[in-house]
Structures are given as structure tokens and as C-alpha cells.
Amino acid sequence: MENYSVLLVDDDPKLLELLANYFRKEQFTVLTAQDGEEALRVFRKDQPQLLVLDLMLPKIDGRDVCRTIRQESTVPIIMLTARDAEFDRLMGLELGADDYVTKPFSMRELVARVRALLRRTYGAYGKGKESLAETVIRAGDLELDMDRHLLFQKEPGTGTCKSIELTPIEFSLLEVLMKSPGHVYNRLQLMENSHGFAFDGYERTIDAHIRNLRKKIEPDSRNPRYILTVYGIGYKFGG
């Protein structure tokens, strides 16, 4: 795998040093920060390819750091949280994080999750040049350009298109759904296809990402036109 740059953010200096040493051993270029202000400063200066971001930080809270970065970038973000409450984990996802890991965690699992997200973000769209028909998926007023990792939506009555920024996981989810319109996926299947792994207990992660996607692409997210819920099973694309 390419030598990716990762920004690790945690206010515990011992854990941060442990994380940094482990990631360096795994051939990552490592940047670190111990508070929210430093995290934003390092992110803007060095433009890392992925963030591992603690939820509880001094100066600027991790949730505010995530919210600010999402306004500036679609860089993949994995949030760390010591809290067990599902509300806190889902809040991070609602703010635009791609995944979360609850402390205490296995270093090996964290690195595996990072690698899976990096593959989804940077490795899935540069495998040779295919024809335009194979790299662009169109449905209704949506156009998903897989080669350039962009989503466009036609604006009603104008004939023009606007670009919609998606996080890596949102893009992967939409790609899976748009490639098989009408096919019903359960949450674990969507997690496997979008995250690169699937396991029990994280199904609500998909629900949070679907809500974020609907806010971005649906004219009325409460009455979706594209991403439809199949109650008791999961989701399908209906555009």
C-alpha cells in the first residue's frame, strides 16, 4: 500500500505516542495533535489523507473539529470515543465522520479499519481507464462519476448541474445502491460494500450515513425519491 499520511488526534500523550509508533511501524506518514486547535492547524497546513480523531479534546471539541473539517474537505475521518452511549457515536457520524472506534480498542483492528477506508477512498477509482459509460452512473437528475469521485445533480428548470460533496463512505454507499437499482440490501451488506468489512452491532452506522446522504441529494429527505427504506430489511435505490 502507498505510504499514506494520517493525522492522529488525542489529548492523552501516552496513547498518542503509542498510536504514532504503531502507525509508523505500519509504514504510515504520521502527524499528531493533542487538542482541537492544533488538529485544525496541522490539518490545514499538511493536508493528511485520513484523520483518527478523538471525540473528547481540549480547546476545541472533537465534534466541532469534525464539523469544521467537513465544511472544508471530504477527507476520511475515523472518530475515537471512550463513551459507550450510542447517541455519542451516532452524533459523530451525523457530523460527517466515516467510521468510529470505541476505546479501549485493538491497534490491529484500528489499522485494519484505516486501511479499509483508505482503499475505499483512494484505491477504488484509479484502476485503469475504462470507457465513460462504465465509469459514470446516471439515474434521474443524478450523475455519479466514479473515475473522478464526484456526484453531480441537475438543478430543476435551469439545465445546469451542481456538484455535491460526499464523504468517501457516502460515495461508496451511493455507488453500491445506484449500480443495482431496485435491489434491496440489508445493513450488513451495505457495510461490507461501503466499509470493506461488516460485523454485528454497527448496523446503525449505515442509518446515519443514509440520513446524511438523503439530506444532500433528496429534494425532501423526509419523503425520499432515490434512497428508499424497505422496512424490516434495509435500503434500495429507486431513482
d(CA 42, CA 24): 18
Best CATH choice for the domain 5-123 from the list 3.90.1170.50, 3.20.20.70, 3.30.342.10, 3.40.50.2300 = 3.40.50.2300
CA 98 to mean position of chain CA atoms:
3
Q: Which residue has the higher pLDDT, 40 or 160?
A: 40
Q: What are the two backbone dihedrals, phi and then psi, of residue 140, each rounded to the nearest 5 degrees?
A: 60, -125
175-190 pLDDT, tens digit per residue, is: 999 989 999 999 888 8
When mean pLDDT is compared across 62-66, 91-95, 113-117, 129-133, the lowest value belongs to 129-133
Instruction: Report the mean per-residue pLDDT for the chain.
Output: 86
Residue 122 has pLDDT above 60, yes or no: yes
* Helices 168-179 and 203-217, packing angle to 10 deg: 80
Q: Which residue has the higher pLDDT, 59 or 93?
A: 59
Residue 61 has pLDDT above 60, yes or no: yes
Topology at the third CATH level for domain 132-237: Arc Repressor Mutant, subunit A (1.10.10)
d(CA 120, CA 117): 5
Question: Residue 160 has what pLDDT?
Answer: 86
Question: Residue 189 has what pLDDT?
Answer: 86
Domain extents in the chain: 5-123, 132-237
Ordered DSSP codes for 113-168: HHHHHHIIIIISS-SS---HHHHEEEETTEEEETTTTEEEEEPTTT--EEEE---H
* H or E, element range at 50: strand 50-54
Mean per-residue pLDDT, 134-138: 80
* H or E, element range at 196: none
141-156 pLDDT, tens digit per residue, is: 899 998 888 899 988 7
